[in-house]
């Protein structure tokens, strides 16, 4: 491995630990990597309809929407499947017009059969949800716009 590859791997490991990811697999050509982390606080809800999690794209990421003055873009910290409600048929975590606090759960992203609660990283009013329920999402993909105070 090259020095920059090792540094990228260290950053990935740190990120996965911060996001409380339990397991992570990569299989690209001659690179096969499996990481398992001890978890202390993970919500494990079995989905009614399991969906395969796409692998991260090697192409450049889709540019995020241009934030207008006062709008903050909440982006996905992980790759997975977006769900706007805690279970099928339940009320969504948030809707346009709702006020959210920093740290409030606004959605879940299923990754490797684990439901990861995604929290708002800004307080304010939800302006728009930028993805649909059940949509496969990428790392860094915009999820919501929030009008901050």
Interval 62-119: pLDDT, tens: 444 444 566 999 999 999 999 999 888 889 999 999 999 999 999 999 998 889 999 9
Start-to-end CA distance of the chain, whole Å, equals: 46
Domains and CATH numbers, the chain: 3-36 (no CATH), 71-148 (2.40.50.100)
Q: How confident is the model at residue 136 (pLDDT cuts 50, 70, 90)?
A: very high
């450049």: which residue's tokens?
60
Q: How confident is the model at residue 30 (pLDDT cuts 50, 70, 90)?
A: confident
Identify the pLDDT of residue 69.
60
Interval 94-109: pLDDT, tens: 999 999 999 999 999 9
**Range among 2-11, 62-71, 121-130 rated most confident:** 121-130
Identify the pLDDT of residue 29.
73
Cα gap 9→21, rounded to integer Å: 15
Cα gap 80→55, rounded to integer Å: 9
DSSP for 73-132 reads: EEE-SS-EEEESSSSTTSPPS--TT-EE-TT-EEEEEEETTEEEEEE-SS-EEEEEE-S-
pLDDT > 70: percent of the chain: 77
Identify the pLDDT of residue 130.
95
Identify the pLDDT of residue 10.
79
**pTM, 2 dp:** 0.55
């Amino acid at each position: 491995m090259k020095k920059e590859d090792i540094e990228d791997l260290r950053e990935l490991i740190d990120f996965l630990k911060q996001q409380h990811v339990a397991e992570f697999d990569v299989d690209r050509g001659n690179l096969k990597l499996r990481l398992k982390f001890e978890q202390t606080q993970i919500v494990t809800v079995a989905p009614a309809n399991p969906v395969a999690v796409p692998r991260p794209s090697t192409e450049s990421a889709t540019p995020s929407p241009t934030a207008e003055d006062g709008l903050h873009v909440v982006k996905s910290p992980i790759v997975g499947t977006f769900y706007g409600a805690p279970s099928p048929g339940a009320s969504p975590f948030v809707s346009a017009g709702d006020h959210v606090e920093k740290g409030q759960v606004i959605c879940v992203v299923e990754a490797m059969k684990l439901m990861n609660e995604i929290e708002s990283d800004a307080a304010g009013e939800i302006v728009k949800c930028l993805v649909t329920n059940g949509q496969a999402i990428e790392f860094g993909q915009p999820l919501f716009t929030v009008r901050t105070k």
